[in-house]
């Protein structure tokens, strides 16, 4: 448990004492932790850079447009897309201009239509929700045959969260997928059930990538079709960021033991709240 000295409202309006430990004992613990952190960073950083080059190469060598989109989706879900923003933009622009905008999408599956729509729209490209019309019957209802395609339904569910005002078909898609995914949870195989349960609670478009990266790394590690290279890169990147958060927390802990610095700070200072936030991210 993190131990906090005290926090003060500016000007001494309110002061709250919190449980403390011996200063020397705590700072010795912090310094030892910092040494271990630096050792871990040195070991991980070199490997991380090597893997980053390999992932960039992977983005280059994959030729099939749909496979490239699936790879980009995995990179984003694993929380490492910030390393490849330029590469991802170049790939999406090329596929959009040379394939997507010229395709009538008649042969696309539910999964493919939904994945393409989501990736392009979230990147800012103009994509019409009309691509989903082929999934509805003459009554304007989504075909019931779709509900057997769990991963396709899941992608349609994620895509529907990017609806803009007036896109009735996407509002309908959200209701349709939410209802049928929830109602079929008990019948799903375990890996699908885990993905669906998580998505229903935390849809991609409404969740911070860093908050879901840890979960997605664990989920990806149990996927039989996982990309080992990408998985290792994402795991090491997560570890590096975790160490950085912990290092920052240790510096703030030292700060909290200096009454002169704390009392001169004109903002509420609550290390416990900060520690909770870091723990959520790490």
Element (H, E) at 129: none
Give the whole-angstrom CA distance, residue 228 versus residue 173.
34
Among 141, 126, 135, smallest CA distance to 153 is for 135
Give the whole-angstrom CA distance, residue 223 versus residue 52.
21
Phi/psi of residue 257, nearest 5 degrees: -90, 5
pLDDT confidence of residue 66: 94
pLDDT confidence of residue 203: 94
Tokens encoding 230:
């990408």
pLDDT confidence of residue 111: 96
Return the domain boundaries, the chain. 6-281
DSSP annotation of 267 reads S
According to CATH, what is the number of the domain 6-281? Answer: 1.50.10.130
pLDDT confidence of residue 46: 86
pLDDT confidence of residue 159: 98
pLDDT confidence of residue 215: 86
pLDDT tens figures, 202-241: 999 988 877 788 888 988 888 877 899 999 999 999 888 8
What pTM, to 2 d.p., does this model score? 0.77
CB 229 within 8 A of CB 54: yes
Query: What one-character-per-residue DSSP string does 69-109 give?
Result: HHHHHHHHHTT-GGGGHHHHHHHHHHHHHHTGGG---TT--
pLDDT confidence of residue 16: 42
In the chain, which stretches have pLDDT less than 70?
A: 1-40, 103-107, 244-282
């Amino acid at each position: 448990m993190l131990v906090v000295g005290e926090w003060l409202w500016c000007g001494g309006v309110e002061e709250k004492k919190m449980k403390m430990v011996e200063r020397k004992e705590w700072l010795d613990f912090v310094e030892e932790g910092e040494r271990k952190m630096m050792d871990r960073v040195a070991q991980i950083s070199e490997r991380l850079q090597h893997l980053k080059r390999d992932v960039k190469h992977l983005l280059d060598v994959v030729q099939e447009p749909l496979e490239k989109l699936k790879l980009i989706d995995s990179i984003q879900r694993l929380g490492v897309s910030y390393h490849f923003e330029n590469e991802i933009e170049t790939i999406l622009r090329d596929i959009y201009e040379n394939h997507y905008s010229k395709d009538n999408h008649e042969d696309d599956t539910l999964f493919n239509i939904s994945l393409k729509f989501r990736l392009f729209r979230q990147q800012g490209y103009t994509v019409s929700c009309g691509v989903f019309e082929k999934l509805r019957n003459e009554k304007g209802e989504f075909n019931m045959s779709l509900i057997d395609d769990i991963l396709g339904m899941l992608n349609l569910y994620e895509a529907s969260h990017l609806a803009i005002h007036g896109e009735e078909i996407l509002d309908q898609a959200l209701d349709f997928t939410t209802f049928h995914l929830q109602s079929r949870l008990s019948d799903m195989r375990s890996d699908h059930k885990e993905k669906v349960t998580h998505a229903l609670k935390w849809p991609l478009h409404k969740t911070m990538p860093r908050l879901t990266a840890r979960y997605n790394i664990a989920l990806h590690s149990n996927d039989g079709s996982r990309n080992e290279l990408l998985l290792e890169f994402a795991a090491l990147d997560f570890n590096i960021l975790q160490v950085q958060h912990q290092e920052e927390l240790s510096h703030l802990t030292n700060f909290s033991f200096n009454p002169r610095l704390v009392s001169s700070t004109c903002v509420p200072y609550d290390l416990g709240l900060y520690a909770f936030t870091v723990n959520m991210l790490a």
